[in-house]
């Protein structure tokens, strides 16, 4: 569980930046070279490379260098693990909120039963 927590930390840190989210969004359409990924941004190529390094260290992106071209692709397994964690947390909070709602309904019903008599 501790290792999974560290992996999730890296994933959420990587997803915290809008540039990295945009790169991931582009990679959902298929593999792309670093040059293709850098094209829409107004930052330097080394800046884009730093973002890609963070995405790779989190496991969200894999890259392969063939000749002089580095091609990146998304790693769907890491996204699935993150989605699974978010889903578990959502279900837990929905369960807690349902229990709170039931408790508040009980309090409200008790208040009506023992309210002031006229």
Reported as a single tens digit per residue, the pLDDT across 67-76 is 999 999 999 8
103 in any annotated domain: no
Number of domains in the chain: 1
Determine the Cα–Cα distance for residues 105 and 4; give it in Å rounded to an integer.
Answer: 38
Whether residue 22 is contained in a domain is answered as yes
The pLDDT score that the predictor gives to residue 110 is 81
pTM higher than 0.85 for the full model? Answer: no
Chain segment 55-95, per-residue pLDDT in tens: 999 999 999 999 999 999 999 888 888 888 899 999 999 99
Structural domain that includes position 71: 2-75
Strands (E), 25-96: 32-33, 61-66, 69-74
Q: What CATH code is carried by the domain that includes residue 40?
A: 1.10.10.10
Give domain status of residue 116, yes or no: no
């Amino acid at each position: 569980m501790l290792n999974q927590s560290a992996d999730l930390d890296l994933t959420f840190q990587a997803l915290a930046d809008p540039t990295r989210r945009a790169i991931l969004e582009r990679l959902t359409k298929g593999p792309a070279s670093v040059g293709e990924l850098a094209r829409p941004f107004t930052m330097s190529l080394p800046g884009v490379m730093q973002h890609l390094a963070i995405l790779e260290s989190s496991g969200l992106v894999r890259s392969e260098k063939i000749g002089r071209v580095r091609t990146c692709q998304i790693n769907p397994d890491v996204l699935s693990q993150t989605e699974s964690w978010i889903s578990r947390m959502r279900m837990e909070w929905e369960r807690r909120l349902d229990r709170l709602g039931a408790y508040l309904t009980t309090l409200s019903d008790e208040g009506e039963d023992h309210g002031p008599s006229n």
